[in-house]
Structure 1
Amino acid sequence: MSSTHIDVSAVDLDELGAWMDEQGLPGGPITAVAPVSGGTQNVMVRFERGGVPYILRRPPQHARAKSNEVLRREARVLAALRDTPVAAPRLVAAQTVREPVFYLMEPVDGFNPSTGLPEPHASDAAIRHRMALEAASALAELGRVDPGLLPGFGRPEGFLERQVPRWMRELDSYGELAGYPGPDIPGLEETARWLESNRPASFRPGIMHGDFHFANLMFAPDGPRVAAIVDWEMCTIGDPLLDLGWLVAMWPMADGYVPGLASPREIVDCYAALSDRDLSAIDWYAVMACFKLGIVLEGTHARAFAGKAPKDIGDLLHAATLDLFARAGHIMRNSLESPT
């Protein structure tokens, strides 16, 4: 989302200042107020008070039905992760009683690689290669966190069994959109059957980010380290290896804007070296991620038929869906050992 679309006036600075006083935060006038661009529809604003910089995150003025609840969940996750080694934005304080919900976090010193690479990353191939491995390392760190920090946050029992039926229902729901002829996705049924037949028998529940890929990572300005994992809207308690599958499934897209990244196999091996989780079924998790993401993207294609999304975007994302299912087919036949 472009910063020009963020309405800073959505934030009542007088109310914010009074609330910050109640929290015992540094006082004084609120200054240097500026919008922050990001990948979600939520409002993010940077400001300073008492010589301390902050980022405020809150729903848009015309909030979606679940906007406030999503922010409540995000604030709870960031509070739970605050005293762990996980590279997450550091929560300062949150207002979750009244709506609109909002929270304050410390600014992250870093950049998002989907918007371009600064120096030294742009000219140092070794740094670019290491960035992918640092992403795997950051994910392994999240996988080590005790899910007991977030009691009642998700439904880990039956989590893997629910995945294929859940996303097939999502795909079926697109049929309610006027004009959508139904999914024309080669390999759809074959992939669903393979996933059901090869599903891991068990897993160890952990905290999942839910949308772990390069566009949701910020990297340190001076090297390959992950400065922060951002956008925790999809976080739940489930199987953390789905995050690893998601990272691998989206890898061809990542390489488009960060050349010279480590290979999917290197990423998996790096994670394996840092985790005691059983990665013998990593192919299943990668195929599951292709399956889920392909169905999610097909939703925009379906909405385009109903005039609820631009046709060119719908066509583009349908092509991405076909690529993802083709990639799933390749992994089913050849495993991640072979490059696509």
Structure 2
Amino acid sequence: MAPLSQKALRLLSVKQLLRPHISVAWVSTYKAVIFDMFGVLIPSPLPKATEWEDKNGVPRGTIGQAIRTGGDGNVWRKYMRGELGPEEFVEAFSRDCSQIVGFKVHIGSFHSALTSDSMTRPLTVMMEAVRCARAEGLKTAVLSNNFLLLGGRSYMPLDPSLFDVIVESCRVGLCKPDPRIYQLCADRLGVSPQEAVFLDDLRFNVEAAERVGMRGITVRDPAQAVKELEEVLKVPLSGFVPGTRSVRQTQQLPMDRLAQYLNSAVQLPQTGPITVRQFSHSHSNSTYLLSCGGHQLVLKKKADTEALRKECRLLTALNKVGVPVPDVIAHCEVPSVLDTAFYLRSYCQGRVFNDFSLPELDADEKKCVYEAMIQTLCQIHRVDPETTGLADLRERVSCNSGGFMEFEVKRLAQQYKAHETQPIPAMNRLIEWLLSHLPEQQKATLLHGSFRLNNLVFDSEKPKVRAVLGWSLSTVGDPLVDVAFCCMSQYLSPNTTQPGNKLASVDIPSAEELFELYSKAMGLESIPHWQFYMAFSFFCQAVILQANHISSLKVTAGTRDIEDMAELAWVFAIKEGFRIFNAVPRAAGS
């Protein structure tokens, strides 16, 4: 595959079009929360030390005294800084404890107790606070005085994916309360100390953090510490649900009126207060998760009543023919409830893969997930718009003799021109090319409109799609538009040096392989012109970038980003041009 131009590689901001974007709409001084590990995220070792001392006939406080004696150069500190291995530490620390009590003590079993099962269980209230903080757009870090195990591994019983940064004393050669380790953690997070909150169960470690400018919280009771952290951050840190965040102040719902509606319209049993969270996808400010008495519903607001009716009708029709979509429970167009139309649907629990490289899965599981994605898309495209009452979705192109693709290219070109701030030659060239290379009209099918991996909810245990979300752009048209759209993630990674390289290198099917999977599942011989549809998809995204640039939405882009996207589309246009040229019959002897 030919390398892209340098322009086409600058796609860091563009990736937000295909990935969830969490915007910190609330104003906060703080951008990061830094957690100690022992005594904050996992149990404190102090009770374990007392238990060991009692069990082994060692006076209480011996281990604590050995830890404190000798200052910065004592055995414990050296072990925490990674200057001693575990065997050296056990021998030297046993000697220190023996000198304190006046008889021989061997602390090998205490060292083992530090990594026992009871010490590996994260504290639930704190881990939920970590997840909630991340859902609000805050960075999180672990800053721990930690030690090495045999083999050179550090003791880390936490899920590293929940933290942007993990700083361990045994890895960096510094221990709390050394001010340098706090600054190092802040630097790695990309924040100033004044923008970070630090939690530790030892007051002198908290005081050291405060001296470098951090806001400190001493953890004596984890639940109480979380409440204090909530007051500092001004966001709730409990009730976490994946993919959601707390409701922004400007987007609160009138709960009294909503509760009355729920009670009368859907007979939701109110065994307690209704809790509300907001879905954190960039385009989901109008979508909420309602929880009450073990029941969960999704509420979606739409100012456009016709669009709301269309979406409800679409989901209802698809549900009847077995397409995995949420159940529509009710819809309301009475403005006195929420001041705008809305509908309620079932909440589908499961896995949503926001990282398209699927790092948590092995190679076979990754393949199965992508195959399930394509099989689900085929299921959608097999739906008959006529018999399901959805044929009217194609009305907007009925008067267009050139077919769906010509209509779409012209419509998007017109939209682009309406938002154009300065000429971008790459876009003008691309528009001309698309209009002169329109493929043969495909059989029209139901289109999802924004079909991609993170619009699917998978079963928690197996690679089966439980629900397809995000139907607001659904229409009837060329099905290959959907296929190309779900392949775009293969080319929009900010760290790739060639299109498709990053995902292909981690056992993810390439775009060409996904098109092949689709063609086989749909009984097509092949899709030779698949690169036209890829070029068209990137053209669509360039148009969206232009509109966002004008309206100053959260997903921002300048003309340079738009040109980059057009350049990426042009890569596929060139490939399609070569394919067409090579397919032309040659005269004999030529």
TM-score range, shorter chain: 0.7 to 0.9
In structure 2, C-alpha distance between the alignment counterparts of 1:74 and 1:311, rounded to whole Å: 25
1:154-169 correspondence runs (5 A):
154-155=394-395, 156-157=397-398, 158=400, 159-169=404-414
**Aligned equivalent of 2:519, options 269, 272, 282:** 272
**Aligned equivalent of 1:144, options 354, 372, 382:** 382
Task: Say whether residues 1:129 and 2:367 are aligned partners.
Answer: yes
Q: What amino acid is aligned across from residue 445 of structure 2 in structure 1?
A: G
In structure 1, C-alpha distance between the alignment counterparts of 2:578 and 2:488, rounded to whole Å: 15
1:134-213 correspondence runs (5 A):
134-148=372-386, 149=388, 150-155=390-395, 156-157=397-398, 158=400, 159-175=404-420, 180-185=421-426, 188-213=427-452
**Aligned equivalent of 2:253, options 7, 11, 27:** 11
Contact 1:6–1:43, Cα closer than 8 Å, also in 2? no
1:1-340 correspondence runs (5 A):
1-2=22-23, 3-4=245-246, 6-7=248-249, 10-29=252-271, 31-49=274-292, 51-59=294-302, 67-96=304-333, 98=335, 100-114=340-354, 122-148=360-386, 149=388, 150-155=390-395, 156-157=397-398, 158=400, 159-175=404-420, 180-185=421-426, 188-253=427-492, 259-276=506-523, 279-301=527-549, 303=550, 308=552, 313-314=557-558, 317-318=561-562, 320-333=564-577
State the number of aligned residues: 318
Deviations 1:279-325 (A, max 9, x none): 45433322222222222223334x28xxx468974367336414432
Q: What amino acid is aligned across from residue 316 of structure 2 in structure 1?
A: A
Which has the larger displacement, 34-43 or 77-86?
Answer: 34-43
In structure 2, C-alpha distance between the alignment counterparts of 1:263 and 1:251, rounded to whole Å: 7
Q: What SS does the aligned partner of 1:103 have?
A: strand
Measured after TM superposition, the shift of residue 10 of structure 1 is 3.2
Q: What SS does the aligned partner of 1:82 have?
A: helix
Q: What SS does the aligned partner of 1:33 have?
A: strand
Contact 2:430–2:566, Cα closer than 8 Å, also in 1? no
Contact 1:140–1:274, Cα closer than 8 Å, also in 2? yes
In structure 1, C-alpha distance between the alignment counterparts of 2:515 and 2:416, rounded to whole Å: 29
Question: Structure 1 residues 242, 114: closer, same or farther in 2, change over 3 A?
Answer: same
Question: Structure 1 residues 171, 269: closer, same or farther in 2, change over 3 A?
Answer: same
Question: Structure 1 residues 37, 132: closer, same or farther in 2, change over 3 A?
Answer: same
Contact 1:191–1:328, Cα closer than 8 Å, also in 2? no
Question: Structure 1 residues 5, 97: closer, same or farther in 2, change over 3 A?
Answer: closer
Contact 2:356–2:453, Cα closer than 8 Å, also in 1? no
Measured after TM superposition, the shift of residue 140 of structure 1 is 0.7
In structure 1, C-alpha distance between the alignment counterparts of 2:431 and 2:563, rounded to whole Å: 19
In structure 2, C-alpha distance between the alignment counterparts of 1:311 and 1:16, rounded to whole Å: 31
Question: Structure 1 residues 145, 27: closer, same or farther in 2, change over 3 A?
Answer: same
Q: What SS does the aligned partner of 1:222 have?
A: coil
Deviations 1:209-235 (A, max 9, x none): 111223323333323333322211211
Which has the larger displacement, 233-242 or 34-43?
Answer: 34-43
Measured after TM superposition, the shift of residue 97 of structure 1 is 5.4
Question: Structure 1 residues 312, 257: closer, same or farther in 2, change over 3 A?
Answer: farther
In structure 2, C-alpha distance between the alignment counterparts of 1:7 and 1:114, rounded to whole Å: 26
In structure 1, C-alpha distance between the alignment counterparts of 2:333 and 2:556, rounded to whole Å: 39
Q: What SS does the aligned partner of 1:145 have?
A: coil
Measured after TM superposition, the shift of residue 72 of structure 1 is 3.2
Measured after TM superposition, the shift of residue 243 of structure 1 is 0.7
Measured after TM superposition, the shift of residue 268 of structure 1 is 1.1
Contact 1:8–1:34, Cα closer than 8 Å, also in 2? no
Q: What SS does the aligned partner of 1:28 have?
A: coil
In structure 2, C-alpha distance between the alignment counterparts of 1:24 and 1:252, rounded to whole Å: 44
Instruction: Report the TM-score when normalising by structure 2.
Output: 0.48
Q: What SS does the aligned partner of 2:467 have?
A: strand
Q: Percent identity?
A: 21
Q: Any gaps of 5 or more consecutive residues in structure 1? A: 60-65, 336-340
Larger Rg: 2
Contact 1:130–1:261, Cα closer than 8 Å, also in 2? no
Measured after TM superposition, the shift of residue 113 of structure 1 is 1.9
Q: What SS does the aligned partner of 1:141 have?
A: helix
Contact 1:82–1:91, Cα closer than 8 Å, also in 2? no
CA-atom RMSD in angstroms? 3.3
Q: What SS does the aligned partner of 1:207 have?
A: strand
Contact 1:42–1:57, Cα closer than 8 Å, also in 2? no
Which has the larger displacement, 256-265 or 131-140?
Answer: 256-265
Question: Structure 1 residues 251, 67: closer, same or farther in 2, change over 3 A?
Answer: farther
In structure 1, C-alpha distance between the alignment counterparts of 2:268 and 2:405, rounded to whole Å: 46
Contact 1:297–1:320, Cα closer than 8 Å, also in 2? no
Instruction: Report the TM-score when normalising by structure 1.
Output: 0.79
In structure 1, C-alpha distance between the alignment counterparts of 2:564 and 2:327, rounded to whole Å: 34
Q: What amino acid is aligned across from residue 12 of structure 1 in structure 2?
A: P
Q: What SS does the aligned partner of 2:354 have?
A: helix
Question: Structure 1 residues 257, 216: closer, same or farther in 2, change over 3 A?
Answer: farther
Q: What amino acid is aligned across from residue 39 of structure 1 in structure 2?
A: S
Q: Any gaps of 5 or more consecutive residues in structure 2? A: 1-21, 24-244, 494-499, 580-590
Contact 1:72–1:101, Cα closer than 8 Å, also in 2? no
Q: What SS does the aligned partner of 1:228 have?
A: strand
Q: What SS does the aligned partner of 1:153 have?
A: helix
Contact 2:442–2:478, Cα closer than 8 Å, also in 1? yes
Question: Structure 1 residues 287, 298: closer, same or farther in 2, change over 3 A?
Answer: same
In structure 2, C-alpha distance between the alignment counterparts of 1:215 and 1:191, rounded to whole Å: 28
Question: Structure 1 residues 25, 334: closer, same or farther in 2, change over 3 A?
Answer: farther
